[in-house]
Chains A and B, each alone.
Chain A
Amino acid sequence: MALLGAINPVLTAGLKGDDGWSLKDYVARGGYQQLKRILETKMTQEDLISEVKKSVLRGRGGAGFPTGLKWSFMPRSFPGDKYVVCNTDEGEPGTFKDRDIMRYNPHAVIEGMIIAGYAMGANRGYNYVHGEIWEIYQRFEAALDEARGAGFLGQNILGSGFSFELFAHHGYGAYICGEETALLESIEGKKGQPRFKPPFPASFGLYGKPTTINNTETFASIPFILKMGGEEFLNLGKPNNGGTKLFSVSGHVNRPGNYEIPLGTPFSTLLEMCGGMRGGRKLKAVIPGGSSAPVMPAEVIMDCTMDYDSISKAGSMLGSGAVIVMDETVCMVKALERLSFFYHEESCGQCTPCREGTAWMYKVVHRIENGLGKPDDLDLLNSVLGNIAGRTICALGDAAAFPVQSFIKHFGKEFEYHIENKACLVPKDVQWAGSGFHKIPA
């Protein structure tokens, strides 16, 4: 089980790993009570959305957009088909929280999606599941069968007159499908290439119909918000940063895993919960919100609290809450080389600045890493990234540019050293010593 710790847990409270995911366990934890209450009391859509707005739940997928506001954009009275879509295409390097939510609490996602359907007048939903997590997709399918069997999904739910069908769609290996319009294209059975916006999905979404897309953790939070009330959820976190959030901590800590903590918790507390730095080594840098978020030097992140506003003020993004921790054994050129390869590999190829620019960024960082860097390579990199950021249909271009920009900004000396000396500041035998990889038997 990769849920390793929590402070005031909401979403992960009472979970018992692989033994506690099923319908009866969820119901025993108070599950589906909120759906029942809403249907029995015929709660109005306005009241429901207003409660979500009060919680200041911000989108947990990365953008941090207020969920209640997003829901209010849906043309609720629009006659005809409308869709609710869940984004479980969790491929942002460093992020593995939605996998655990789906694995240990899949019914919270289902209940959240049904309630969202009710709030926005949608009768059909899809959950797009990351291709690499087949076993989790299977579990979600099993949970859907249970929910159908219990009458929580389907026609005329619990005799209320409200109907909602929900299905799982399995991805097959494309990071870009985490972008919401690429995800919609993918559900439609096409290449996952993002759409030009506007129109936004709320007016032209799946099959051209009004659609709202939220992250898995966002949907899973909904039943809990309705149970405790929007205000109480907000107060768990800090103003403008409501609630608790799951943080996926990877890299050089003693206990990598998922941690649910209130937004506004100091980074230093989270680091302590993870058992501190592996081998007692010194913290060098942290990418606080998935690989697309700008890297932060140790001294900057150590003064931050883990919430959208604090991290943004310090020059990065909370993103998906994927905290990638790096110690002093990391060569920052090598680290950036791997990230640049990723964006080059995953660019969908639609926009020229991204398709060509990501290839150039990888090529240049690769040659610096391999001792073939040229004196003006850092200027070249800054020029290339400047010609990608803001010039593409979707945010992948920006996501590819931010790491390059921030690595050069904060760790430029390492890049310059590589170029001048055709060698690394971190001795080869020390590099990646922090990986904890077991000794290979003789």
Chain B
Amino acid sequence: MFSAETLQKFAREVGKYPADQKQSAVMACLAHAQEEKGWLPPEAIEAVADYLGMPAMAAYEVASFYNMYDLKPVGKYKITVCTNLPCALSGGYHAGEYLQKKLGIGYNETTQDGKFTLKEGECMGACGDAPVFIVNNRSMCSHMHPEQIDKLLEECK
């Protein structure tokens, strides 16, 4: 189900917790599983649960509770825009609107070529750098004005 590299990451996470508390690694393992698969299909969630010796339902509860897990396929680049108040005061809404117009999709939609998915996010803890985006849960982009947005979209090959 998972590559050797992903399994190695799983093992490293499990090692952080007491031997009888393997379930503690479920969040990290689901995140690594999602990184490999692009999203979290039910089989991946079950495989993580098996790996950690916990009920599949308990792993599914975690996957459906935290909002950075994708339980449905997303585009190659998932761009999450913070529109919470502090960001909105510094252009968060405008940045989101510009991005929607450029990509021709709304929030929670994916471009037809499967390249981009757009999400509206909650506070990312970077309000001083507003407007901010996160690409694929990992890469934070600061001060996203039109020229930076154009550049970002060009870089997403």
Binding site for B on A (CB under 8 A): 2, 81, 90-96, 98-99, 126, 130-135, 167-175, 186-192, 207, 248-252, 256-258, 291, 322, 324-326, 330, 335, 338-339, 342, 345-346, 348, 432, 434-441
Contacts and interface: CB of A to CB of B under 8 A. Distances in A.
A391 B150 CA distance: 47
Nearest to B148: A438
B123 A342 contact: yes
Contacts of B87: 250
A133 to B, nearest CB: 6
Contacts of B54: 189
Contact of A96 (B62, B125, B138): B125
17 contacts: A95-B127, A131-B66, A132-B125, A135-B138, A170-B27, A172-B30, A248-B128, A256-B90, A256-B127, A256-B128, A326-B89, A335-B88, A346-B122, A432-B89, A435-B91, A438-B145, A441-B146
Contact of B89 (A131, A191, A324): A324
Q: Enumerate the 9 nearest inter-chain pairs by beta-carbon distance, A residue then B residue, closest first.
A: A437-B91, A189-B23, A173-B68, A438-B145, A250-B86, A250-B127, A172-B66, A132-B124, A437-B94
B127 A322 contact: yes
Contacts of A95: 123, 125, 127
Interface stretch (B71-79, B110-118, B129-137): B129-137
Contact of A99 (B24, B86, B126, B146): B126
B140 A248 contact: no
Given A95-B125, A132-B134, A248-B128, A291 B68 contact: no
Contacts of B123: 91-95, 175, 291, 342
B113 to A, nearest CB: 24
Contacts of A190: 23, 58, 61-62
Given A175-B122, A437-B95, A191 B146 contact: no
Contacts of A189: 21, 23-27, 52, 54, 58, 62
A150 to B, nearest CB: 20
A248 B127 contact: yes
A96 B65 contact: no
Nearest to A345: B122
Given A93-B85, A251-B86, A342 B122 contact: yes
Interface residues of B, number: 54
Nearest to B137: A134
Given A134-B138, A250-B127, A342 B84 contact: yes
A131 B134 CA distance: 11
Contact of A188 (B24, B88, B128): B24
Contact of A250 (B58, B68, B94, B128): B128
B126 A251 contact: no
B70 to A, nearest CB: 11
A176 B99 CA distance: 29
Contacts of B93: 432, 435
A324 B140 contact: no
Contact of A207 (B16, B21, B95): B21
A246 B59 CA distance: 37
Given A133-B140, A189-B54, A172 B31 contact: yes
B8 interface: no
Contacts of A133: 124-126, 140
B67 interface: yes
A338 B84 contact: yes
B128 A96 contact: yes
Contacts of B43: none
Contacts of B69: 172-173
A325 to B, nearest CB: 8
B37 to A, nearest CB: 15
A228 B126 CA distance: 31
Contacts of B27: 169-172, 186, 189
Nearest to A251: B89
B139 interface: yes
A96 B127 contact: yes
B28 interface: yes
Interface string B93-108: 1110010000000000
Interface in B35-55: 52, 54
B130 A250 contact: yes
Contacts of B137: 131-132, 134
Nearest to A186: B27
A94 B21 contact: no
Contacts of A324: 85-86, 89, 127
Interface centre among B27, B54, B88 (most CB of A within 10 A): B27
A439 B18 CA distance: 54
Nearest to A439: B146
Nearest to B68: A173
B128 A93 contact: no
Contacts of A168: 16
A174 B66 contact: yes
Contacts of A131: 66, 68, 137
Contacts of B155: none
A326 B85 CA distance: 10
